[in-house]
Structure 1
Amino acid sequence: MKSRLSIVLAALWWGSLTGLGFLVVPMLFTHLPSPAAAGAMAAKLFTAQTWLSIGCTMLLLLVLNKKEAPALSPSAQAAMKFIVTGLLLAVLVEFGVAPRIVSARANGGSLQLWHGLGSAMYLGQWLAAGWTLWSLSRVQPPQGY
């Protein structure tokens, strides 16, 4: 049961990052009348995505807790570091980079630098979520083989 729940959580995390970052936000910039309107909407969506990521990663950490599952599979052990990395990246983007993007936009600061850093960190979170999903969904051979 716990392995299925962990796969569902990892899939939700990775799928939401994929849908938002590679489909929804590019469509906003294509279809909304101005880049400013698209950017404002994208910022709200990225904030919602951050909270979804935090929820998925925290639940994954609870589900894969060694105290709860003493015989943690090697793939689940490997996934733990990527879950923590994704969680840290989500928090850093939301509370470290996003406010600087808003400030740079309002004050004429280095918007390109902060936007690039935020994009790189989002990509890192996407890779961490993907690796987590990949490692948790690996089929384990039956016992005794």
Structure 2
Amino acid sequence: MLPTYSQRIFNLLSGLWVGGLLTIGFLVVPTLFSSLGDRQVAGMVAANLFKSTAYISVLTSIVLMVLANYFVRVGKPQYRIDRWILLGMLACAIAAAFIIIPWMNSLRDQALYLGLSVRESTHAVLFSRLHGISSAIYMLQTLLGIVFVWRATKNAD
């Protein structure tokens, strides 16, 4: 009975997490940029959303890895692959939360200190590259998440 209950928590947490990634990245942030007249304000709000999402992703992937390890220990070897997917998602979240986002925020803060938007600053090219890397990491994490949820619901059988 305990593994079934644990699997339900695993599936629920997986679905909520990946659903959140999809909602923030592909619905909320594009809506911000299309609705707000000021791209700088939209970018700052989006940066806060992505930062929160990255921290939540770090925590959630660790919790799910612990559960996946438990499932493997109780004789469900199909969760071994899920652990690798979760590790990839954790790596994406760590890169975003502790490297890319702080770096981009620093560049934005430097520009704001000078009274400029980051697009007008001398760091515009670097910021643009970091934005591209950040977007690629987020897309990779989301794709891994879709595969992960697909497998998690299959593993519930």
Give the TM-score, by structure 1 length: 0.88
Query: Is residue 2:122 matched to residue 1:108?
Result: yes
Query: Is residue 2:40 matched to residue 1:36?
Result: yes
Question: Counterpart in 2 of 1:9?
Answer: 13
Q: Deviations over 1:83-123 (max 9, x none)?
A: 01101111101211112222344253211110000000000
Query: Is residue 2:133 matched to residue 1:117?
Result: yes
Give the TM-score, by structure 2 length: 0.81
Which structure has the highest helix share of the two? 2
How many positions carry a matched residue from both structures? 140
Question: Counterpart in 2 of 1:57?
Answer: 61
Question: Counterpart in 2 of 1:84?
Answer: 87
Structure 2 residue runs of 5 or longer lacking an equivalent are 112-120
* Counterpart residue type for residue 51 of structure 1: Y
What is the root-mean-square deviation in Å for CA atoms of aligned residues? 1.8
Alpha-carbon distance in 1 for matches of 2:72, 2:103: 40
Structure 1 residue runs of 5 or longer lacking an equivalent are none
The farther-off stretch of 51-60 and 23-32 is 51-60
Alpha-carbon distance in 2 for matches of 1:40, 1:25: 11
Query: Is residue 2:141 matched to residue 1:137?
Result: no
Q: Is the 8 A contact 1:6 1:63 kept in 2?
A: yes
Superposed structure 1 runs of 4+ greater than 4 Å apart: none
Question: Counterpart in 1 of 2:116?
Answer: none
